[in-house]
Amino acid sequence: KQEVTQIPAALSVPEGENLVLNCSFTDSAIYNLQWFRQDPGKGLTSLLLIQSSQREQTSGRLNASLDKSSGRSTLYIAASQPGDSATYLCAVSWRRDDKIIFGKGTRLHILP
Amino acid sequence: GAGVSQSPSNKVTEKGKDVELRCDPISGHTALYWYRQSLGQGLEFLIYFQGNSAPDKSGLPSDRFSAERTGGSVSTLTIQRTQQEDSAVYLCASSLEGRGANYGYTFGSGTRLTVV
């Protein structure tokens, strides 16, 4: 069964710290992996998309890495800010024409 | 359009009534997905469209749920005889498929359904 797991479920860190969010998936033959953020009561905002042939993607203070062989992806947030507080979701697709399966997310709280 | 548009943004309905939720994907996006997010839960896949056909309906919770897509564009998710456990946020996403690649998924803001 294809599953996506995110650890930790919740995280609180002081402003300014660098942090890492983890995502693991069963079945390493993925098609792509996407990180989203969700603010309370809002929809999902796409952060980074990593194709199966890629090892990492960067956007501003965010860097996402992909290690298919170990079934893992990490989202690195540099110099965290209170505005980064949100739920971060990892989503994996195993085929081009297929649904994406989400992890349950990591609730991040940046302390001012 | 510039993004995925969902309507209504909020819907309160009485138990037993039927509801229709609408999703207007990004122009040119051939793939469209419906997900459900219940309070405190993760995202649950409901149905996927490629063009107007639905190759994967495996996530629909019961035969009270149905969805259609017309003209390769707008999709409607219909819930008949709503129950309180149908209360959730219903999210729609679309993606551009081409040259063997998927270019990521764009989500709408969702419809918050409350069944009273």
Round to whole Å and give the CA distance between A23 and B84. Answer: 32
Relative to beta strand A56-59, strand B10-13 is: unpaired
Instruction: Grade residue B77 by pLDDT with cuts at 50, 70 and 90.
Output: very high
| Mean pLDDT confidence for B27-45 | 89
pLDDT band per the 50, 70, 90 thresholds, residue B100? low
Cα-only R_g, chain B:
14
Q: What are phi and psi of A46, to 5 degrees?
A: -70, 135
Enumerate chain B positions whose Cβ falls within 8 A of a Cβ in A: 31, 33, 35, 41-43, 45, 48, 50, 55-56, 59, 91, 93, 97, 100-110
Of A90-99, B17-26, B96-105, where does the model show the most confidence?
Answer: B17-26
* Residue-by-residue DSSP string for chain A: ---EEEE-SEEEEETT--EEEEEEESSS--SEEEEEEE-TTS-EEEEEEEETT-SEEEETTEEEEEETTTTEEEEEE-S--GGG-EEEEEEEESSTTS-EEE---EEEEEE-
* Closest residue, chain A, to B105 (C-alpha): A46
Is the Cβ pair A42, B97 closer than 8 Å? no
pLDDT (0 to 100) of residue B40: 74
> Which of helix, strand or coil describes residue B112?
strand
Q: Identify the pLDDT of residue A72.
A: 97
List the single residue in A49, A96, A100 with the smallest CB-CB distance to B97.
A96
